[in-house]
A and B are shown apart, each in its own frame.
Chain A
Amino acid sequence: MFTLEDISLIIEESDQEIMILHNINLQLEAGKMYALTGPNGSGKSSLARVAMGIYKPTGGQVFLNGEDITSLGITERARRGIGYAFQQPPRFKGMQVKDMLEYAFKYSDGVNCQVLRQIGLCPEDYLERALDSSLSGGEMKRIEIATMLAQNPKVRIFDEPEAGIDLWSFEQLINVIGESHRDNATTMVISHQEKILNMVDEIILMEGGTVSMRGDRDTIWPQIKESARCSCRRSCQMEEEIYADCPR
């Protein structure tokens, strides 16, 4: 069980305090797959980064299987089995794909470099490629997913895995994430893609730094779509009112 209890995150910007996350409570069970969705700026990636230990929460606690890991840093959380696939993986001059996979294997229970094949890249072609600007954004994302597969963590957080990936790779990516989800693992995918939302057990909707809806996919997804339509209608109506006097 991975638990986020009363998580708040406040950042200071230009002498102003900005509330990014407000009293988030989530219990994520082993064996289940979750989608974290919501509009841009709703706090999804911030919450994922709090879970990974990249951001220290202003308030609240994080538990992994009952152990309070709030004070643990990124390294310790990774070694305890939490994995995080970046939305925009960083590039490294001189470092090769195989170096990254070796680091990922180091603290895992040993998966071989077939992970590259799993995400549709030929190891012979890619193991010695540099993780620099010679790789496209889509290739970087696929390698990021492969790194997560190599790490094989108990809690796996994918931050918008579909971003920057072409349609063909996207289909494959969905399959890989679905197939890699283990019975005893907790998978959380940050995504706006219906195809990803369709394959999870539960959907968590974030708005304005809080969890506004949560439940099983079949119940929640129609509500989210309806809510999005209303929000769109409201904003169109507002736009009509604002621009009513403008020449068209």
Chain B
Amino acid sequence: MLTALDKKLLEEVADLHGQPPGAYNIRKDGEGIQRRSLEGIEIKTKADQPGIDVIVAAGKEGSVHIPVILTETDLSDLVFNTIDIGEGADIKLVAGCGIHNPGSKNAQHDGVHEIIVRRGARLHYSEKHFGEGEGGGKRVLNPKTVIVIEEDAYAELELIQIRGVDETSRVTEVEVKAGGRLVMFERLLTDGRQTADSDVAVKLMGEQSTARIISRSVAQGHSRQVFTPRLMAYGPGRGHVECDSIIMDHAAVRSVPEIWAENSEAELVHEAAIGKIAGEQLIKLMSLGLTEEEAEEAIISGFLK
């Protein structure tokens, strides 16, 4: 039975308003509490470690929600999930973690997702982090996502964390095989004394493999962010890394994009920019009647959209 708090957290991280439409597995405070498998989408508990296996049959279309929520303080949850998207399948996978820490001790979730997107399949992966709680205890999230995109498969990743999480260290590793395509959007907003590290490594392995990594972040207060997106081409692939950050108040942002080619036909580009909100942008919106605060909010929400 889900409490009102559980429902709120699920709404925040997985946009769930009631029962998910497709297959799902909801994990709360270290334990699976609700699950539904469907024909062609099987979810089962791992035998050797905490976590689940999600097996999607070839050609299957549908959605899978696997959110995690933590509602207790002094809790450390570690989970390993394996997701196998069958050939030609088309799946929307919604992960994400919401923490409500009511106490003075830490609440931490470390999640490892291993995903294989098989030949010709399509995956839309969404992972949203959310944190809240009246206690002084930290909300800590450390996700690791490892993905293999097979020949002619496509994966779109949407990784979102807007305020609320005190510490996060995210690792994303993707291997893109010939004809495979990756599009990754990362959106992050930190404030107060929050810290966020994002380490992304994408390997383009074969002909016609492509990757586009777009990272947008806003750092407010005294928060600190570090981005290290690395794009490596071992074959004649094409890739583009774009890291943009708005820095405000007393925050610090470090952005270290790296491109690395081992094939003369590879084409890789990186762009990185850190800067404050442009004065002319604020003036423009204020000249339409917005207050300075409204203008700032509009610019930030547009930037992170």
Give complex CA distance A78, B244 in Å: 31
* Chain A residues with CB under 8 A of B283: 54, 74
Kindly identify which residue among A73, A89, A92, A106 contacts B302, using a CB–CB cutoff of 8 Å. A92
Q: Does A73 contact B286, Cβ atoms closer than 8 Å?
A: yes
* Chain A residues with CB under 8 A of B281: 90, 92
7 contacts between A and B (CB under 8 A): A75-B286, A78-B288, A83-B287, A92-B303, A93-B302, A94-B304, A107-B289
CB distance from B244 to the nearest CB of A (A): 6
Q: Does B284 contact A78, Cβ atoms closer than 8 Å?
A: no
CB distance from B301 to the nearest CB of A (A): 8
Binding site for A on B (CB under 8 A): 216, 244, 278, 280-281, 283-292, 298-299, 302-305
Binding site for B on A (CB under 8 A): 52, 54, 73-75, 78-79, 83-84, 86, 89-90, 92-96, 99-100, 103-104, 106-107, 147, 151
Q: Does B280 contact A94, Cβ atoms closer than 8 Å?
A: no
Q: Does A147 contact B299, Cβ atoms closer than 8 Å?
A: no
* Chain A residues with CB under 8 A of B287: 52, 54, 74, 78, 83-84
Chain B residue, CB-CB nearest to A77: B287
Q: Does A104 contact B305, Cβ atoms closer than 8 Å?
A: no
Chain B CB count within 10 A is highest, among A52, A78, A90, A100, for A90
CB distance from A241 to the nearest CB of B (A): 42
* Chain A residues with CB under 8 A of B284: 86, 89-90
CB distance from A146 to the nearest CB of B (A): 12
Give complex CA distance A78, B216 in Å: 31
* Chain B residues with CB under 8 A of A93: 216, 244, 302-303
Chain B residue, CB-CB nearest to A101: B288
Q: Does A92 contact B288, Cβ atoms closer than 8 Å?
A: no
* Chain A residues with CB under 8 A of B286: 73-75, 78
* Chain A residues with CB under 8 A of B244: 93
* Chain A residues with CB under 8 A of B298: 95, 99, 103
Chain B CB count within 10 A is highest, among A74, A86, A104, for A74
Contacts A90-B284, A103-B298, A106-B288 aside, 13 further interface pairs with beta carbons under 8 A come to A75-B286, A75-B290, A78-B288, A86-B280, A86-B284, A92-B281, A92-B303, A93-B244, A94-B302, A95-B298, A99-B302, A107-B289, A151-B288
Name the 4 nearest CB pairs between A and B, nearest first: A95-B302, A107-B289, A94-B302, A74-B286
Give complex CA distance A146, B61 in Å: 43
* Chain A residues with CB under 8 A of B303: 92-95
* Chain A residues with CB under 8 A of B305: 94-95
Chain A residue, CB-CB nearest to B292: A75
Chain A CB count within 10 A is highest, among B285, B286, B287, B305, for B287
Q: Does A79 contact B289, Cβ atoms closer than 8 Å?
A: yes
Chain A residue, CB-CB nearest to B300: A94
Give complex CA distance A147, B289 in Å: 12
CB distance from A188 to the nearest CB of B (A): 15
Give complex CA distance A158, B283 in Å: 15
Q: Does A78 contact B278, Cβ atoms closer than 8 Å?
A: no
Give complex CA distance A5, B230 in Å: 59
Q: Does B289 contact A78, Cβ atoms closer than 8 Å?
A: yes
Q: Does A104 contact B288, Cβ atoms closer than 8 Å?
A: yes
* Chain B residues with CB under 8 A of A75: 286, 289-292
Q: Does A107 contact B288, Cβ atoms closer than 8 Å?
A: yes
Kindly identify which residue among A90, A96, A147 contacts B288, using a CB–CB cutoff of 8 Å. A147
CB distance from A42 to the nearest CB of B (A): 22
Q: In the complex where A86-B284, A92-B299 touch, is A103 in contact with B216 (Cβ < 8 A)?
A: no
CB distance from A32 to the nearest CB of B (A): 22
Give complex CA distance A99, B287 in Å: 14
Q: Does B285 contact A103, Cβ atoms closer than 8 Å?
A: yes
CB distance from B83 to the nearest CB of A (A): 30
* Chain B residues with CB under 8 A of A83: 287
Give complex CA distance A202, B289 in Å: 29
Q: Does A90 contact B278, Cβ atoms closer than 8 Å?
A: yes
* Chain B residues with CB under 8 A of A106: 288-290
Kindly identify which residue among A78, A90, A100 contacts B280, using a CB–CB cutoff of 8 Å. A90
Give complex CA distance A84, B287 in Å: 7
CB distance from B165 to the nearest CB of A (A): 21
Give complex CA distance A76, B216 in Å: 32
* Chain B residues with CB under 8 A of A147: 288
Chain A residue, CB-CB nearest to B286: A74
* Chain A residues with CB under 8 A of B290: 75, 103, 106
Give complex CA distance A83, B287 in Å: 7
* Chain B residues with CB under 8 A of A52: 287
CB distance from A31 to the nearest CB of B (A): 23
Kindly identify which residue among B278, B280, B289, B304 contacts A103, using a CB–CB cutoff of 8 Å. B289
Give complex CA distance A107, B244 in Å: 31
Chain A residue, CB-CB nearest to B273: A93
CB distance from B299 to the nearest CB of A (A): 7
* Chain B residues with CB under 8 A of A151: 288-289
Give complex CA distance A99, B295 in Å: 12
Give complex CA distance A96, B284 in Å: 14
* Chain B residues with CB under 8 A of A78: 286-289
